[in-house]
Structure formats: C-alpha cells, structure tokens
Amino acid sequence: KQARLPWIKTLEQFDFSFQPSIDHKIVRDLAGLSFVERGENVVLLGPPGVGKTHLAVALAVKAAEAGHRVLFMTLDRLVSTLMRSRQENRLDRQLQQLTYPKVLVLDEMGYLPMTREEASLFFRLINRRYERASTILTSNKSFMDWGEIFGDQVIATAILDRLLHHSTTLNIKGESYRLKDKRRAGLVT
C-alpha cells in the first residue's frame, strides 16, 4: 500500500541513548503496532529537536510496512485543508477521506493558534477517527496549554477527551538533537 510520508525515518536510526527520558520499552511496544489494530492514539510532546517527528514518522513507516494506509500532514496543512473544503461545500467528503487512513500523523500542533472555527473542524476530525483509526500527534505544548492553542477551553477539553481516551503519551524531556553537534563545538550553550 502507498505510504504518504514526507521522508523516511526509521526506529533503527533513532539513538535512544541520546534521549534517556524516552522509555525504550514503550516505543518497542508501539512498534508492534497493536495500537494500530485497536485504533489507539499516540501523542508525542516535547521541545523542538528532541525527535518527535522522527518517532512519529518511524511508527508510520512500520505501519505502512505492515500494509496499513498511512498519511502524514502538518497540523497547519490539515486545518487549511479542512477550511477550504468547508468553503467549497465538501467538508463531509474531506472528513471521510481523512478518516480512511489507519494511521494519520499530525505534526506540529501548537506552533500556530487556531480560531474557534478551525478548532471545531479539528474536533470533528478527531471525533470521526475516535476508536476507528490511530492518530499520532506531535506538539511542543503540554496538555495544559491546549486551551490556548484552540482558543477555547471547552473545545480543548473535548479534543483531549477523545484523543487521550485510548492513547499513549510520550513526554520527551531533553536536548535538541539538531543542536548537539553545535553544542559540542561550543557554538551554543
């Protein structure tokens, strides 16, 4: 089956010794893909450069190799896709299409705040996928800050409720892998 990923990263390429806050066993369990069979979600939280996108893509690669349909989008791209389809009166069809992939990676939630309308469209998607298909979400914001992202605590709570009901959260605390060589060279502190 076709995998729609922007680039390929694998779990084998991931250096777990660099990021000790990640429980290796949890990632190994996820790589077994029972979360996909059960339509459960994965939330990867942490500051920039700690490997959130890498791990999200690597899990999607595993799922694609196992024959599941996967799709990768930035959250920004998802929101503009939903808004456009609403303007063009084909929101239902678009939501249906986005419910189809067994694994949907939504990358980079939290960099841009959403309007209420955008947040409610996002909620509709999460609600459709709930208990049917897995969503892997990455964010640089902790759950407490989600109210701010969605501009509305009620919608934020409803989204968190669906997303986290059956889910695994990895809270990655550590240094940016992007900066490690620069840091070593004394270019940043």
Q: Which residues of this chain interact with ligand ADP, rule CB under 6 A?
A: 9, 13-15, 18-19, 46, 48-54, 138, 177-178
Residue 106 phi, psi (nearest 5) = -115, 110
Rounded least distance, CB 97 to ligand ADP, Å: 25
Quick one: 53 or 135, whose CB is closer to Mg ion? 53
| Contact partner, 123, from Mg ion, ligand ADP, none, Cβ < 5-8 Å per class | none
What region, left, alpha or beta, does residue 154 occupy, with left being phi > 0 and alpha being psi -120 to 50 degrees? alpha
**CB 44 → ligand ADP: shortest distance, Å?**
7
User: Is the CB of 85 or the CB of 135 nearer to ligand ADP?
Assistant: 135
Transcribe the chain into DSSP letters.
Answer: --EE-SS---GGG--GGG-TTS-HHHHHHHHTTHHHHTT-EEEEE-STTSSHHHHHHHHHHHHHHTT--EEEEEHHHHHHHHHHHHHTT-HHHHHHHHHS-SEEEEEEETSS---HHHHHHHHHHHHHHTTTSEEEEEESS-GGGHHHHHT-HHHHHHHHHHHHHTEEEEE--S--STTHHHHHTTS--
Residue 88: CB minimum distance to Mg ion, A? 30
134 vs 138, beta carbon nearer ligand ADP: 138
| 21 vs 97 by CB, closer to ligand ADP | 21
Q: How far is the CB of 18 from ligand ADP (least distance, A)?
A: 4
Q: Which is nearer to ligand ADP, 95 or 137 (CB)?
A: 137
Nearest approach, Cβ of residue 174 and ligand ADP (Å)? 8
Give the residue nearest to Mg ion (CB): 53
Angle between helices 91-99 and 75-87 (to 10 degrees): 150
- Binding-site size for Mg ion (CB under 5 A) equals 1
Considering only residues 32-61, where is the footprint of Mg ion by CB under 5 A? 53
- Interface residues with Mg ion (CB under 5 A) are 53
